[in-house]
Structure formats: structure tokens, C-alpha cells
């Protein structure tokens, strides 16, 4: 079971790499590329997956390999580079965040975030006596997994239902969360329930920090595209309700407006959410970002492979 945004994207990239590496022909490699693109299409919210795929496609086009094994080598190199980069970004962002947190704080968090766990790891290593409050995060209960992970780190952790956020928020010194995606205007996309937490934190003047590698910024949002969220059906409702026609669905993710966020911490530092364009300039090399859309790149990658196929 995969809980965090980074972990989920990584497992798809690993599956793609497994398929690409075992390809013996251009057809098989095309199959692997199709798998990756379809995974991106069905996860428009997974910023990390989309940005990583963009890099992989761009590297592939640049390498212009003439045989399959060269192409695989180039993909292998770009995947290693992406993994390395994501790892470093996460570590750096977590390090900056843990420096900001004092030794005796109570951190409120939601769902499961590998980045947030890394912060706690740093704090524990420093000898800080931090406490954590986590909501169970229905419908999948990732908060329970987060509580278990925090407990294994030796953090004093309290688990509550999602409905009890406002009842417990005043006990926290700070809210620290990860992100599924960061949009152009500094708002973030995260697991359902995060907006509730942000509004409750603002009401009680508890600061909210988002910690995430800059890889979570979705450049497409600069061109007006919304980060979509899949609606999921709640599977565990009683059968008699289903037969009565009761519907049970919710979006998996939701947006938190920038004005509820006190700071976004990326590997580039701690900034206001409204300063995301600054991070974009640093990450994508320019403002506005000159990035090619993933569907464009995919089309080019496909036609390049088909070209090679015809030749053989």
C-alpha cells in the first residue's frame, strides 16, 4: 500500500522503468511509454509524475537514440536523475522546515506525507521533544498509517477523527503538511480534508506550512489548466443504502487557497505562497516557464519511435 504523493508517483515510474528496461523492440518500448502517459492522463493531480514524465520524454527526444538499447540507456539515465533530484529536493525542503520548528512544538498534520515524516525524523535526531496530532483522514485512513510511522520514530502522537480538527487545533503550535501539487497562484492541492484543516488553523491563528519539493509545481496551471481531482466512490456504505439510491462519493483531493498558507517550503527556501513565480523561475529557468506540454511531448516521442519502427 502506497500512502504519500511522492511514493505513489515513484512506484509508477519504477513500473515504467521495469517495462522499458525489459523491452527488446521499439514496439515494446512504445508500450512502456504508452503506460507512462496513460498513468499521467489518469492522474492530472500528480504533479510529480507529470513533471518527471516531461523530463523523461524531453531527454528521450534529445538523445535521439538509433537503437532500442541506447534508448533504454538514455531513459535509465534520466530516471536515475529524476529520482536523485526528487530525493535531494525532499531532503533539502525537510531540512529547511525542521530548522524552522522549535524543540517543544506540537505539529498538526493530515494524511500521509513522506516529506513531513522526514521533518520529524530530523527533529527526533536533533533531540527535539515534538508531539504530533494526526487526523485519521477518511476515506482511506492514511492518517492512521502516518500515526504508526510517527510512533516508530518515537514521536508522541495523538490520533483523532477528521471531525475533531477544530476541537484540537488550539493544542497545536503549527500545521505542517505535504502537497500533491502546487498551482501557479500559490494555492496547493492535497488530500480531501486539508481545506478544513487550513480554515480551522486560520480561525485559531495557527500557522500553516506546506513542505514540498519544487517538483510539485504544475506548470500547466500557468496556462489556465485546473488541477483535476478524481471523484471516488465510498465503498464501505451499507448495502441497504445503496439499494435505496443513496450516492456516496467525494473528490480525492481539494485545493487550499494561498491566503490560508503562511509559507511554502521547497528546496529553494521558505517563501510566501504568492511568491511561487520566484520558485518557478528558479526551477524551470524562466518566468513565465517555458515548458512544453506533456501531450505535445508524448506525440513527438510516439512519432519518433514509429519512425524507428518503420526503418527496421
Partner 1 sequence: MIPEEVLRIAEDIRSMRIRGAGRIARATAEALMIAAEGYKGDLEGFARYMEEVSRVLLSTRPTAVSLPNAVSYIMKAVRKGYGDVREAVEAVVKVATEFKEYSEKALELIAEIGSRIVDDGATIVTHCNSSAVVSILARAWSEGKRFRVYATETRPRYQGYITARDLASRGIPVVLITDSAMTYAVRRADLVLVGADAITSNGALINKVGTSQVALVSRTYGVPFYVAAETYKFSPYTLVGEIVEIEERDPREVLDPLIDGIEVRNPAFDATPPEYIDAIITEIGIISPEMAILVITDFLGHVAMPETVRGYEDSEATNAL
Q: 1, 66, 235, 240: which one contacts partner 1 (CB under 8 A)?
A: 240
Q: How many residues bind partner 1 (CB under 8 A)?
A: 44
Query: What is the DSSP secondary structure assignment for residue 111, as one 8-state letter?
Result: S
Rounded Cα distance between 108 and 118, Å, is 15
Rounded Cα distance between 197 and 97, Å, is 19
Rounded Cα distance between 52 and 272, Å, is 25
C-beta of 11: minimal distance to partner 1 in Å? 24
Q: 151, 274, 292, 299: which one contacts partner 1 (CB under 8 A)?
A: 151
Q: Does 142 bind partner 1 (CB under 8 A)?
A: no
Q: 4, 44, 139, 186: which one contacts partner 1 (CB under 8 A)?
A: 139
Rounded Cα distance between 155 and 65, Å, is 50
Q: Does 237 bind partner 1 (CB under 8 A)?
A: yes
Kindly tell me which of 127 and 245 has the beta carbon lying closer to partner 1: 245
* Dihedral (CA of 64, 70, 71, 73) sign: negative
DSSP 166-224: HHHGGG-SEEEE--SEE-TTS-EEEETTHHHHHHHHHHTT-EEEEE--GGGB-GGGGGT
C-beta of 45: minimal distance to partner 1 in Å? 14
Q: 178, 193, 213, 219: which one contacts partner 1 (CB under 8 A)?
A: 193
CA distances for 198 relative to 101, 111, 194, 207, angstroms: 18, 14, 6, 9
C-beta of 246: minimal distance to partner 1 in Å? 5
Kindly tell me which of 247 and 311 has the beta carbon lying closer to partner 1: 247
Q: Does 220 bind partner 1 (CB under 8 A)?
A: no
Which stretch in 29-37, 90-98, 114-122, 153-161 sits in contact with partner 1 by CB under 8 A?
A: 153-161
Q: Does 80 bind partner 1 (CB under 8 A)?
A: no
Q: Does 124 bind partner 1 (CB under 8 A)?
A: no
Q: 95, 124, 199, 263: which one contacts partner 1 (CB under 8 A)?
A: 199
* Cα 180 to the center of its chain, rounded Å: 3
Rounded Cα distance between 304 and 4, Å, is 34
Footprint of partner 1 on this chain (CB under 8 A)?
A: 135-139, 144, 147-148, 151, 156-168, 191-193, 195-196, 199-200, 203, 234, 237-238, 240-241, 244-251, 254
Amino acid at each position: 500500500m502506497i500512502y504519500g504523493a511522492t511514493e505513489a508517483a515513484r512506484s509508477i515510474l519504477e513500473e515504467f522503468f521495469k517495462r522499458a528496461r525489459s523491452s527488446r523492440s521499439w514496439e515494446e518500448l512504445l508500450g512502456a511509454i504508452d503506460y507512462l502517459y496513460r498513468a499521467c492522463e489518469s492522474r492530472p493531480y500528480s504533479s510529480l509524475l507529470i513533471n518527471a514524465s516531461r523530463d523523461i520524454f524531453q531527454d528521450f527526444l534529445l538523445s535521439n537514440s538509433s537503437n532500442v538499447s541506447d534508448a533504454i540507456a538514455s531513459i535509465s539515465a534520466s530516471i536515475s536523475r529524476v529520482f536523485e533530484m526528487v530525493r535531494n529536493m525532499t531532503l533539502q525542503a525537510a531540512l529547511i522546515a525542521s530548522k524552522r520548528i522549535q524543540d517543544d512544538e506540537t505539529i498538526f498534520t493530515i494524511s500521509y506525507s513522506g516529506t513531513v515524516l522526514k521533518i520529524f525524523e530530523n527533529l527526533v535526531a536533533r533531540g527535539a521533544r515534538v508531539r504530533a496530532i494526526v487526523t485519521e483522514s477518511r476515506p482511506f485512513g492514511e492518517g492512521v498509517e502516518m500515526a504508526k510511522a510517527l510512533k516508530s520514530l518515537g514521536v508522541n502522537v495523538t490520533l483523532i477523527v477528521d471531525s475533531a480538527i477544530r476541537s484540537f487545533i488550539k493544542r497545536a503550535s503549527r500545521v505542517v503538511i505535504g502537497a500533491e501539487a502546487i498551482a501557479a497562484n500559490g494555492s496547493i492541492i492535497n488530500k480531501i480534508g486539508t481545506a478544513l484543516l487550513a480554515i480551522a488553523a486560520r480561525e485559531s491563528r495557527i500557522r500553516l506550512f506546506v513542505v514540498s519539493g519544487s517538483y510539485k509545481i504544475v506548470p500547466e496551471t500557468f496556462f489556465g489548466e485546473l488541477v483535476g481531482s478524481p471523484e471516488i466512490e465510498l465503498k464501505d456504505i451499507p448495502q441497504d443504502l445503496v439499494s435505496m439510491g443513496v450516492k456516496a462519493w467525494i473528490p480525492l483531493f481539494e485545493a487550499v487557497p494561498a491566503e490560508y498558507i503562511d509559507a511554502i517550503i521547497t528546496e529553494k527556501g521558505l517563501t510566501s505562497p504568492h511568491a511561487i513565480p520566484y520558485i518557478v523561475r528558479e526551477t524551470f529557468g524562466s518566468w513565465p516557464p517555458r515548458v512544453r506540454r506533456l501531450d505535445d511531448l508524448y506525440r513527438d516521442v510516439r512519432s519518433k519511435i514509429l519512425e524507428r519502427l518503420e526503418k527496421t
